[in-house]
Chains A and B, each alone.
Chain A
Amino acid sequence: MKYILLMSGTKAGVNTYREWSKSDVEAHFAFLGRLNRELTESGELVANDGLGSPEAARVVRAGKDGMPITDGVFPESKEFLLGYWIVDVDTPERACEIAARLSAGPAPGGDQTSMPIEVRQIMSRRSSELA
């Protein structure tokens, strides 16, 4: 069963990364690299990407003429998707376990980020009714 693990945060929260020291940033990226390698080696990683900075994000709606109306400025409090992991696992518990690992990424001062990770099952194209 496939799950998508969504990591999101507030724009203000994202900006706190800028205060991190070089070694804190390095430790965090090393952690992410390690986890991705682990998930590849366990045969569970399907896809993983980080998303560009929220400052460059745009929200698009179609106008009456079908042309895009672009909205580029977000309120500070809004949650942004920062990155996602798609994993193919044997149980729902395993998906949550990986999400907890992601949430326990290192932060300055020996802390962990405790980022909230949303765990959502990806719908299959299979229909289960056999008989």
Chain B
Amino acid sequence: MRGVIQDGMEHLLRELVPQVLAVLTRRFRDFADAEDAVQEALIAAASQWPESGVPENPRGWLIRVASRRMIDRIRSEEARRERQDEAAAQAVLYTQAPEFDPDHGPELDDTLQLFFLCCHPALTPSSSIALTLRCVGGLTTVEIARAFLVPETTMAQRISRAKASIQAAGARFEPPTQAERRERLSAVLHILYLIFSEGYSASSGPQTQRVELAQEAIRLCRALHVVVPEDPEAAGLLALMLLTDARRFARTGADGEAIPLDEQDRSLWDRSQIQEGVRLLETALSKGAIGTYQLQAAVAALHDEAARAEETDWPQILALYELMMKLAGNPMVALNHAIASAMVHGPQRGLELLQALDSDPRMARHHRLDAVRAHLLEMAHHDAEAVRCYHLAASRTTSLPEQRYLLMRAARLGDQSGAR
């Protein structure tokens, strides 16, 4: 059993990772090596602190140890170069870098710049996800590998390649230009959104050893919201995560099966988390710069605020999807818009709207289109057609809990109506 002290220490170390990494990167101007040095310092802390106790200034301790590792690296690199009769001038400069004042650091900007580096456009999403979790989230490679169910060596490789790509792209640890900032921030939000949805898993099974990615995404998004408090979309994304995650205990059954929103036990929803999400969202919306995360959060809030499924404010949800269609229409939004239309104007209206998506190559063979059509057909009492669409959706989804849900739904309808 792990003691409270050890858990507290782990938590502390994870909080300190981005701060220490930022200091090292700024001081030595080499993100990839700095990242390795910080990992080595963390390993040293994890083995020494339980014996010696947490030092009075843990952050200063980590910076000192990581810097020493970094200087060792530079010296051995220097020695290697000397052996090859090459100049080794620069390293001396680095070792003479000014001492860091632990009480006087531009920490907020540091965290933001780390986010920007980890979510650099030169990286694939999977690389950005891994790097963000390690460099900003302070997770170990083992923890990230477990979360994504891949071997540690594979994840370690993915991380070191990501660092190499950043270096190759010439990315620096400095703020992007004002013109780039909006776009870079959207990229960060997108990566956090991906981490959250990866964690939005209905799996049961041996989860105890696995980091909860949804919780990690929320923690990271909180950190981002702290450094860009004025950005309504960052707040909107945090609200969306909180409002969605609030339903986590209700959306999975005892055997890991997915339970749809309208059948969930709403007493299991996390009220305080819903309140926090709603408060965040209201503040964000009041700034007047509407974006898709805020709108999605607003939809989630309307679901969360309905005491019973029948009391859901569908007209308001429909209005939000109409706004989303105008702002950033994509087939997924169109699909949700069709559902909301069906809930307000009846299934026939929804089915008509779905027809437009049949010719969209991004959607035509997507299981969600078949699944939504099946639901609407069921609402319209076209049972045989509904069963056919449920089966089609079940054969196209790549999610096990969804497949199981769709097959159950088809079987239930088949039993009721003899439509098989």
A90 touches B403 (CB 8 A): no
Q: A126-B197, A126-B200 are in contact. Are A42 and B157 (CB under 8 A)?
A: yes
Identify 17 residue pairs between A and B in the complex whose beta-carbon atoms are under 8 Å apart, listed by A's number: A40-B157, A45-B151, A45-B154, A88-B126, A88-B150, A121-B398, A125-B203, A125-B256, A125-B401, A126-B198, A127-B399, A128-B197, A128-B368, A129-B258, A130-B244, A131-B299, A131-B303
The answer to whether B205 has its CB under 8 Å from any CB of chain A is yes
Give the CA-CA distance A131 to B193 in the complex, in Å.
13
Give the CA-CA distance A121 to B395 in the complex, in Å.
12
Q: Of all chain A residues, which has the CB nearest B244?
A: A130
Give the CA-CA distance A131 to B339 in the complex, in Å.
12
Give the CA-CA distance A41 to B198 in the complex, in Å.
23
Q: A90-B126, A124-B400 are in contact. Are A43 and B157 (CB under 8 A)?
A: yes
Contacts of B148 in A (CB 8 A): 88
CB within 8 Å of A: which of B180-212?
197-198, 200-203, 205
Contact size range, B: 35 or more
Give the CA-CA distance A121 to B398 in the complex, in Å.
7
Contacts of A121 in B (CB 8 A): 398
The answer to whether A46 has its CB under 8 Å from any CB of chain B is yes
Which residue from B127, B153, B201, B405 sits with its C-beta under 8 Å from A126? B201
CB within 8 Å of B: which of A77-128?
88, 90, 121, 123-128
Q: Of all chain A residues, which has the CB nearest B400?
A: A123
Q: A41-B157, A42-B157, A43-B157 are in contact. Are A125 and B244 (CB under 8 A)?
A: no
Min CB gap A128→B, angstroms: 6
Q: Of all chain A residues, which has the CB nearest B161?
A: A43
A46 touches B258 (CB 8 A): no
Give the CA-CA distance A1 to B401 in the complex, in Å.
16
B157 touches A131 (CB 8 A): no
The answer to whether B300 has its CB under 8 Å from any CB of chain A is yes
Give the CA-CA distance A6 to B258 in the complex, in Å.
30
The answer to whether B124 has its CB under 8 Å from any CB of chain A is yes
B403 touches A125 (CB 8 A): no
CB within 8 Å of B: which of A12-53?
40-47
The answer to whether B125 has its CB under 8 Å from any CB of chain A is yes
Give the CA-CA distance A42 to B198 in the complex, in Å.
21
Q: How many residues of A contact B (CB 8 A)?
A: 22
Give the CA-CA distance A123 to B401 in the complex, in Å.
9
Give the CA-CA distance A45 to B127 in the complex, in Å.
14
A131 touches B161 (CB 8 A): no
The answer to whether B67 has its CB under 8 Å from any CB of chain A is no
A130 touches B202 (CB 8 A): no
Contacts of B153 in A (CB 8 A): 40
B205 touches A125 (CB 8 A): yes
B399 touches A128 (CB 8 A): yes
Q: A123-B400, A131-B244 are in contact. Are A43 and B336 (CB under 8 A)?
A: no
Which residue from B157, B202, B296, B303 sits with its C-beta under 8 Å from A127? B202
The answer to whether B233 has its CB under 8 Å from any CB of chain A is no
Q: A40-B153, A46-B150, A88-B150 are in contact. Are A127 and B402 (CB under 8 A)?
A: yes
Give the CA-CA distance A42 to B165 in the complex, in Å.
12
B154 touches A127 (CB 8 A): no
B124 touches A90 (CB 8 A): yes
A127 touches B401 (CB 8 A): yes
A127 touches B205 (CB 8 A): no
Give the CA-CA distance A47 to B153 in the complex, in Å.
11
Min CB gap B243→A, angstroms: 10
Give the CA-CA distance A131 to B296 in the complex, in Å.
8
Contacts of B157 in A (CB 8 A): 40-43
B399 touches A123 (CB 8 A): yes
Give the CA-CA distance A124 to B125 in the complex, in Å.
18
Min CB gap B270→A, angstroms: 16
Give the CA-CA distance A43 to B353 in the complex, in Å.
42
Q: Of all chain B residues, which has the CB nearest A91?
A: B124
Give the CA-CA distance A84 to B126 in the complex, in Å.
23
A127 touches B201 (CB 8 A): yes
The answer to whether B389 has its CB under 8 Å from any CB of chain A is no
Contacts of A123 in B (CB 8 A): 397-400, 403
Contacts of B154 in A (CB 8 A): 40, 43-46, 88
Min CB gap B62→A, angstroms: 27
